[in-house]
Amino acid sequence: MIPRYSRPEMARIWEPENRFRIWFEIEAHACDAQAELGVIPKEAAKAVWERGKWEIERIDAIERETKHDVIAFLTNLAEYVGPEARFVHQGMTSSDVLDTCLAVQMKQASELLLADLDALLAALKRRALEHKMTPTIGRSHGIHAEPTTFGVKLAGHYAAFDRARQRLLAARDEIATCAISGAVGTFANIDPAVEAHVAKKLGLKVEPVSTQVIPRDRHAMFFAVLGVIASSIENLSTEIRHLQRSEVREAEEYFSPGQKGSSAMPHKRNPVLSENLTGLARIVRAAVTPALENVTLWHERDIAHSSVERVFGPDATIALDFALARLTGMIDKLIVYPEAMQANLDRYTGLVHSQRVLLALTQAGLSREDAYQAVQRNAMKVWLEGKDFLTELMADPSVSAKISKAALAECFDLGYHFKHVDTIFRRVFGG
Amino acid sequence: MIPRYSRPEMARIWEPENRFRIWFEIEAHACDAQAELGVIPKEAAKAVWERGKWEIERIDAIERETKHDVIAFLTNLAEYVGPEARFVHQGMTSSDVLDTCLAVQMKQASELLLADLDALLAALKRRALEHKMTPTIGRSHGIHAEPTTFGVKLAGHYAAFDRARQRLLAARDEIATCAISGAVGTFANIDPAVEAHVAKKLGLKVEPVSTQVIPRDRHAMFFAVLGVIASSIENLSTEIRHLQRSEVREAEEYFSPGQKGSSAMPHKRNPVLSENLTGLARIVRAAVTPALENVTLWHERDIAHSSVERVFGPDATIALDFALARLTGMIDKLIVYPEAMQANLDRYTGLVHSQRVLLALTQAGLSREDAYQAVQRNAMKVWLEGKDFLTELMADPSVSAKISKAALAECFDLGYHFKHVDTIFRRVFGG
Amino acid sequence: MIPRYSRPEMARIWEPENRFRIWFEIEAHACDAQAELGVIPKEAAKAVWERGKWEIERIDAIERETKHDVIAFLTNLAEYVGPEARFVHQGMTSSDVLDTCLAVQMKQASELLLADLDALLAALKRRALEHKMTPTIGRSHGIHAEPTTFGVKLAGHYAAFDRARQRLLAARDEIATCAISGAVGTFANIDPAVEAHVAKKLGLKVEPVSTQVIPRDRHAMFFAVLGVIASSIENLSTEIRHLQRSEVREAEEYFSPGQKGSSAMPHKRNPVLSENLTGLARIVRAAVTPALENVTLWHERDIAHSSVERVFGPDATIALDFALARLTGMIDKLIVYPEAMQANLDRYTGLVHSQRVLLALTQAGLSREDAYQAVQRNAMKVWLEGKDFLTELMADPSVSAKISKAALAECFDLGYHFKHVDTIFRRVFGG
Amino acid sequence: MIPRYSRPEMARIWEPENRFRIWFEIEAHACDAQAELGVIPKEAAKAVWERGKWEIERIDAIERETKHDVIAFLTNLAEYVGPEARFVHQGMTSSDVLDTCLAVQMKQASELLLADLDALLAALKRRALEHKMTPTIGRSHGIHAEPTTFGVKLAGHYAAFDRARQRLLAARDEIATCAISGAVGTFANIDPAVEAHVAKKLGLKVEPVSTQVIPRDRHAMFFAVLGVIASSIENLSTEIRHLQRSEVREAEEYFSPGQKGSSAMPHKRNPVLSENLTGLARIVRAAVTPALENVTLWHERDIAHSSVERVFGPDATIALDFALARLTGMIDKLIVYPEAMQANLDRYTGLVHSQRVLLALTQAGLSREDAYQAVQRNAMKVWLEGKDFLTELMADPSVSAKISKAALAECFDLGYHFKHVDTIFRRVFGG
């Protein structure tokens, strides 16, 4: 991922330092288990831990010759460990190291993403509580519908990211398996106890059947979950973009003093963060299809999946980490304009109460069809001619015959719409 | 989905009969709850259950005029229910009906798919146990590696579909929510108790925040899980395609007596089922990206997601149901050729034991590098010149200096590779 | 594709009647060529044309037994043609018939889509000319930027669909090839002259190398082009959705008298057509990835691509045909509100002229940086406090020191922005 | 793109040096045109060319403050150019610079990719001619079908990449447009003559309607074409992977002396390049869907597309460049084993001639159905029991009654299949 969309902590997971460190731990823990089984000398295992070192440039140099990264690493490791190095990697295959390492990296990435989600959830909760009762117009199809509160909007997004969190937990657990099973996964040359030991030490579960590789449906599921989370980010970002558009202006991204909106139009304050999040969501989602295609391997394994993972393993997790953090900051500092929300709510003079009038008319004995026509007839005068809805209704004999003016006026009470906000908040935030 | 890839039980879920039946139940259960709350007369709720009927053609006729399917249904329902029909759908919006119905349909579809998976798992288990100890060559990169058993291959696929089952269970539970919350999800005109009642009756959970619609990240997750399952299908199908190719012929799809393989070449028996499954996997996966794009809605809702769901709701579930059933039948009747497996295993006269020799040499004191070179040197004579591996090794002084002929010969024992098959089977099938 | 999104003319292309008709023509033309070459008797070719008939149900019945559609068709054809039927299909393989037929169907589909595009282009041109000089605010990032005209907006979309037309022409020509080359494409049992004859008769080009099948990169390109066109549809639809939202209301989809917007809120007029087009775009695009995956075939061919094409061949072309027609109708009847456009344009009292002021200040000798700050300082008062932009500028000494009030006022002339509209229209519509 | 899959020449196109160089040229050429129009002093334009310089670190520093890359560049440029810098960028917007620059970069990338394709085509042609008459078994569904030549296989792939070249030419021309049209594309503050001049100087065409940005359907088409080319790469790579598998071994990737195939199994020579190409194809294709989603912009523009292009502009072109070069090298050095091809061809003792026998029987007067059954009956004995096809046919009375032994034997002539290889080669390579 390009630096522009990277944060150091997530990027570090995918850097050679971390990868070789994990490789070393896998090999060294495996040596311990092998020593415990009596397959290799205990001193050898000890030597590995004590003298085990490596140097990235040296590994690169060896790899250029051997064209094989794990052999290059082992060769360099042997240069430090000395003769005991011949006991390292016994009965193992490169994939045992590579796939278990990838599992550790994806687990580490998951932990960061979970922390990102926690921060986002906290920001959303804070802003939702702050605006729990801030009236705003609810819109379906971009058209004014009925009143809601800005807090309810945010609570809905909170709930979505709470689901995201649950899914990521499951995906993390699915991905966190260890495979040390040898050439085609039969443990011919290595005891399953080695795998069990390494798994335990690295906080992984044992992969039940690894045919040299960890099966790629696990990875596909992981990237699919990232894709769904990315889509929820786009959903919230799109809401902000809408709220900031010139004709709505109910909320705005924070605009720092030095920032310039447009080289040509100095007055402009653009929702560039949320637009950027829309693009980042596409970037994260781009990993889903290749990951699905990666599931199919030839027989016990081929290496077609590898390049995809080398690129999208880092790219998808780094971009998502960046996006979640950006979104959190954006929500945290979002400038909200309750007056503008109220003004938009009042824009069509009471039309938002049309359904309540419809219900009142039905309850007063009008057939649903007649009530609907009466309401639509008067609503259209508001919509098209800018008339006042309550006035029109009161003047309509087919309405006034069924319902008193006082009762009609009561239908225009905004508070009526918010009586269950508490219920919704309790569902989302508990308590 | 075209009839060619449809099975009636799954198709039925998506047909108007089932949809309208669910709509009716939602409305009728809602009436019960409303009556219980005293919002509508108990007789009205009773009347709905007693006289509630509808006719598809009539609904279609009304929809052609109103261009609104739920209104068309309610109008037709009212024609049967009579005056009490005005109490139906009170405080509700079309989406309350549509989205809850979709949840029920996806839950029903999930149940069928779970049953499909159970049947597939049973078939895989049966064949895996049957061939638990059938030797076959394990292949990485399409190249002979080390021996495994055909049962271990199948056990790996069993484990993958067992994971598929777990994911589908989670996806089903995520999708199975009920929303009856009115215009923009504020319950302004309907008590949350109605939603709770309908949810309970339909076996759903209550949707915490429905902004008129059930949030689409749930559906995205559902389709993503179908996509991952489809990829596992492609993985197993590709294995079968490979095993059936002329040069391998270790297994073959069952070929019925009347069947014709090729209009031009009468001798041909093609793996057309597994090839077809590869295509079906692509079809199911095609729903994933649109479902991810569907997550973003404008404000409280728009209708952009609807057409996608009308098409891919049925298409993805029907194609997956068909594919799972086809795969089950294919595995069930798969013709396995153990002799051919053994013949392929013996093809490169002992080369499959190269790693064991490598290990023996290392344990006998050779450095890893020297051992690797000794093995590779002799292996290449087998690979390129067709020599016998054991003979070559015995004739190589750098090898014979370290290891006796008897010990070398022992390295060529096939049983050595299968000593942990029990462990693998226990992990997968328990017991 | 479900009937809801199908139009009969396009659907017909994919129905059995059309397919078997094309199969027959391929076989009959091939017989003519074979007769001409002396390979089969001329009477046989004549008999095929004269007595050639088939019956869909009968073919289906045979296929249920043989599990092979082309053999089923040929068997049924033979029942009508009689003994001379043994000369039919000589040296050919099923794929010769299937792939050439698919080419004809895709060509037919392309012709309909080209006609759809022509109709859309005509509607866009008409409305663009009608609103060539209708002022409207141009928006970047959803924020008011500078004036443009509604005609220029539409001209841009016209240009996009004109490009779509060019791409579809190219894709049609790429897809329109004929393959009659026998088992693995070597013409072992059939002369290339047969292929040349059939190609000519069906308006196709000869496929240079068909390895039993027409290579699938052609089809992938075709579906990719459909996907790009679908995206252009989504782009225009999104514009309409924005213009119709309650706070903008510069344009509205036509709303027929009987139509109902919402079962709960009778006043609502929703942009349901353009929202639907957004969903349809996703459906068409869903075919792109499977089509790309279809390019890879095993050796000379496998059948994995077939199911994908059976589903997405019809689905993508039918959905796109429907979407283009719907879009054309929508543009054709679109209700445009020039007064609302003007009102929105005037919303931020002159802010749209900020860049022109910036330029004037630079030309008057201010550094770009200073000019930018002067303009932004005053623009922010308009944006945040609702001040009048011209008044503020005139009152700012650092501005008035550089530029006279008269010159400033001149910067606020709307016509200034439209002086090159003619140029743009000439580029797009010529003349 | 990670260095592992990058080649310097393509990477350089996307590096800051190249980008700023293009930005500078756009600005400087624009100044020339503005000077020619008399809008700015000729000396100013001259000063820009003469003193125009910039420094990447300085630009980065300014951008960190202004959060706007074009303003940062212009500010740094002004530091070198001096007071005349105020005439730079007049009437332009950032997008004029960014989008025109992207067009230049994509054009440059296209030129490299076209050269890559030329090299690949040359390699394919050379190997195709070399193996024009090398017999090999054609396979459909992975099952032996009829003989073809290895040259014909390669000629088919040549034709596919020749189509790729045509598509890329078209995509390059589509993408190569220049937009210098100001804030919302109306040329309010800049004469269209400036755009025409810059376009000419940079080898671009003028964008007919740029609404601040160049419309993204052009970019979508570009990435879609890259995706189709990637799929053709996967197709050829899959062929090689199949040919190299242990049971087939008709061809092998070149294996350099120092290279190691497996850390555990020293004898292994794996088709790792072609497996890697399969993965790279997925990476390139991953750009297609985001590019299609990028087409939809809000009104005159939003910035959602930008991050996607920052990532996939480089990634897709760099990965494709790398993949094409790797594929070219792989084809160039591919080790072909004609004897193995012949051995595989002979594997099923004459079964490959079954269709020819079928035809001979039909021509001898047997009905198609009877002939089919006779051939299938005897073919199955070969297939299942390993019998010799010709012997079995001669011994079958229903066959020998119709056709002499000599005539039967003639059906087994291999050369018969290759009589039209010249025709195919002429179609592909001309001459």
Interface check B139 vs A, CB under 8 A: yes
Q: Same domain, yes or no, for A330 and A358? A: no
Clarify whether A197 is annotated catalytic.
no
Calculate how close chain D gets to C43, using CA atoms only, in Å. 15
Which position has the higher pLDDT, B146 or B222? B222
- Give the pLDDT band (50/70/90) at residue A221: very high
Mean pLDDT of D241-254: 96
Question: Which C residues, 356 through 375, put their C-beta within 8 Å of a C-beta on chain A?
Answer: 358, 372-373, 375
- Give the pLDDT band (50/70/90) at residue B2: very high
Question: Which B residues, 238 through 257, put their C-beta within 8 Å of a C-beta on chain C?
Answer: 241, 256
Query: Where among D286, D312, D341 does a domain terminate?
Result: D341
Contacts of D78 in chain C (CB under 8 A): 368
SS3 B297: coil
C79, C82, C86, C90: CA torsion to nearest 10: -80
Rounded percentage of chain B residues whose pLDDT exceeds 70: 97
Query: Where among D326, D341, D356 does a domain terminate?
Result: D341
Model's pTM, two decimal places? 0.96
Interface check C398 vs B, CB under 8 A: no
What is the reported pLDDT for B376? 85
What is the reported pLDDT for B365? 87
A56 CB contacts (<8 Å, ≥6 apart)?
A16, A17, A20
Contacts of D301 in chain C (CB under 8 A): 140-141
- Find, in chain B, the residue whose alpha carbon is nearest to that of D377: B267
Q: Same domain, yes or no, for D330 and D404? A: no
Name the least confident of A170-179, A304-313, C45-54, D391-400. D391-400
- Using a 10 angstrom Cβ sphere, with 0-12 exposed, 13-18 middle and 19 or more buried, the burial of residue A2 is middle
Interface check C160 vs D, CB under 8 A: yes
Mean pLDDT of D317-346: 97
Q: Same domain, yes or no, for D44 and D170? A: yes
Q: Give the whole-angstrom CA distance, residue A371 versus residue B84.
A: 15
- Give the pLDDT band (50/70/90) at residue A317: very high
DSSP bridge pairs for A136: A148
Res B266 pLDDT > 70? no
What is the count of structural domains for chain A? 2
Instruction: Report the CATH number that the domain containing residue B216 is assigned in CATH.
Output: 1.20.200.10
Q: Same domain, yes or no, for C272 and C405? A: no
- Give the pLDDT band (50/70/90) at residue C7: very high
Q: Give the whole-angstrom CA distance, residue B296 versus residue B311.
A: 18
Query: Where among D280, D308, D341 does a domain terminate?
Result: D341
Calculate how close chain C gets to D18, using CA atoms only, in Å. 26
What is the reported pLDDT for A264? 53
Interface check C282 vs A, CB under 8 A: no
User: Contact B143/D348, CB-based, under 8 Å?
Assistant: no
Residue/partner pairs of D2-8 with CB below 8 Å, 24 or more apart: D2/A310, D2/A311, D2/A314, D4/A307, D4/A310, D5/A307, D5/A310, D5/A311, D5/D280, D5/D283, D5/D318, D5/D319, D5/D322, D5/D323, D6/D318, D6/D322, D7/D318, D7/D321, D7/D322, D7/D325
Q: Cβ distance A87 to A41 under 8 Å?
A: yes
For chains B and C, count residue pairs whose Cβ atoms are closer than 8 Å: 162
Of B142, B351, B383, the CB nearest to D245: B142
Q: Same domain, yes or no, for B337 and B347? A: no
Mean pLDDT of A289-315: 97
User: Contact C94/B263, CB-based, under 8 Å?
Assistant: yes
- Find, in chain A, the residue whose alpha carbon is nearest to that of C351: A267
Of C85, C146, C163, the CB nearest to D186: C146
Q: Cβ distance A144 to A418 under 8 Å?
A: no
Domain encompassing residue B360: 343-429
- Find, in chain B, the residue whose alpha carbon is nearest to that of D270: B141
Give the tens place of pLDDT for each residue, A133-153.
999 999 999 999 999 999 999
A304 CB contacts (<8 Å, ≥6 apart)?
A294, A297, D275, D276, D278, D279, D282
What mean pLDDT value characterizes chain A?
Answer: 94
Q: Same domain, yes or no, for D145 and D159? A: yes
User: Contact C303/B275, CB-based, under 8 Å?
Assistant: yes
Between C272-285 and B304-333, two packed helices, what is the crossing angle to 10 degrees? Answer: 30
Q: Cβ distance B258 to B203 under 8 Å?
A: no
Q: Same domain, yes or no, for D277 and D209? A: yes
Which position has the higher pLDDT, D127 or A378? D127
What is the reported pLDDT for D258? 61
What mean pLDDT value characterizes chain C?
Answer: 94
Q: Cβ distance A228 to A164 under 8 Å?
A: yes
User: Contact C308/B66, CB-based, under 8 Å?
Assistant: no
Mean pLDDT of D33-54: 97
- Find, in chain D, the residue whose alpha carbon is nearest to that of B293: D293
Q: Same domain, yes or no, for D371 and D323? A: no
Interface check C42 vs A, CB under 8 A: no
Res A49 pLDDT > 90? yes
Give the tens place of pLDDT for each residue, D70-90.
999 999 999 999 999 989 998
SS3 C149: strand
Q: Same domain, yes or no, for D355 and D275? A: no
Q: Same domain, yes or no, for A99 and A208? A: yes
Interface check C296 vs B, CB under 8 A: no
Which position has the higher pLDDT, D364 or C154? C154
What is the reported pLDDT for B262? 61
Q: Give the whole-angstrom CA distance, residue B88 versus residue A339.
A: 38
Catalytic residue among A141, A256, A267, A299: A141
Instruction: Report the CATH number that the domain containing residue B388 is assigned in CATH.
Output: 1.10.40.30
Mean pLDDT of D400-422: 92
- Give the pLDDT band (50/70/90) at residue B158: very high
CA distances from B145 to A182, B375, C135 (A): 11, 14, 72
Count of positions (residues) in chain A: 431
User: Contact D212/C142, CB-based, under 8 Å?
Assistant: no
Helix (H) or strand (E) segment spanning residue B276: helix B272-285
Interface check B426 vs A, CB under 8 A: no
Q: Give the whole-angstrom CA distance, residue A89 versus residue A98.
A: 12
ipTM above 0.85, yes or no: yes
Calculate how close chain A gets to C349, using CA atoms only, in Å. 12
Q: Rounded to the nearest 5 degrees, what angle is found at the Cα of C250, between the Cα atoms of C249 and C252?
A: 70
Calculate how close chain D gets to A395, using CA atoms only, in Å. 41
Q: Same domain, yes or no, for C93 and C31? A: yes
What is the reported pLDDT for D130? 98
- Give the pLDDT band (50/70/90) at residue A348: confident
- Find, in chain C, the residue whose alpha carbon is nearest to that of D210: C156
SS3 A143: strand
Interface check A206 vs B, CB under 8 A: yes
Contacts of A86 in chain B (CB under 8 A): 362, 366-368
Of D279, D286, D310, the CB nearest to A306: D279
Query: Assign residue B220 a region: left if phi > 0, alpha if psi is -120 to 50, beta otherwise?
Result: alpha
Mean pLDDT of C152-179: 98
Catalytic residue among D197, D242, D262, D267: D262
| Interface mutation target, options A87, A88, A162, A295, chain B, most CBs of B under 10 Å | A295
SS (H, E, C) chain D: CCHHHCCHHHHHHCCHHHHHHHHHHHHHHHHHHHHHCCCCCHHHHHHHHHHCCCCHHHHHHHHHHHCCHHHHHHHHHHHHHCHHHHHCCCCCCHHHHHHHHHHHHHHHHHHHHHHHHHHHHHHHHHHHHHCCCCEEEEEECCEEEEEEEHHHHHHHHHHHHHHHHHHHHHHHHHHCEECCCCCCCCCCCCCHHHHHHHHHHHCCEECCCCECECCCHHHHHHHHHHHHHHHHHHHHHHHHHHHHCCCCCCEECCCCCCCCCCCCCCCCCCCHHHHHHHHHHHHHHCCHHHHHHCCCCCCCECCHHHHHHHHHHHHHHHHHHHHHHHHHHHHHHCEECHHHHHHHHCCCCCHHHHHHHHHHHHHCCCCHHHHHHHHHHHHHHHHHHCCCHHHHHHHCHHHHCCCCHHHHHHCCCHHHHHCCHHHHHHHHHCC
Mean pLDDT of A95-110: 98
Mean pLDDT of D127-139: 97
Calculate how close chain C gets to B196, using CA atoms only, in Å. 21
- Give the pLDDT band (50/70/90) at residue B358: confident
Interface check D38 vs C, CB under 8 A: no
Interface check B294 vs C, CB under 8 A: yes
Interface check D349 vs A, CB under 8 A: no
User: Contact B290/C282, CB-based, under 8 Å?
Assistant: yes
Give the tens place of pLDDT for each residue, D258-274.
666 565 555 578 999 99
- Give the pLDDT band (50/70/90) at residue B10: very high
Clarify whether A262 is annotated catalytic.
yes
User: Contact B296/A419, CB-based, under 8 Å?
Assistant: no
**Closest among C11, C10, C48 to C30, alpha carbons compared:** C48
Give the tens place of pLDDT for each residue, C233-253.
999 999 999 999 999 999 999
Q: Same domain, yes or no, for A281 and A370? A: no
A310 CB contacts (<8 Å, ≥6 apart)?
D2, D4, D5
Res C186 pLDDT > 90? yes
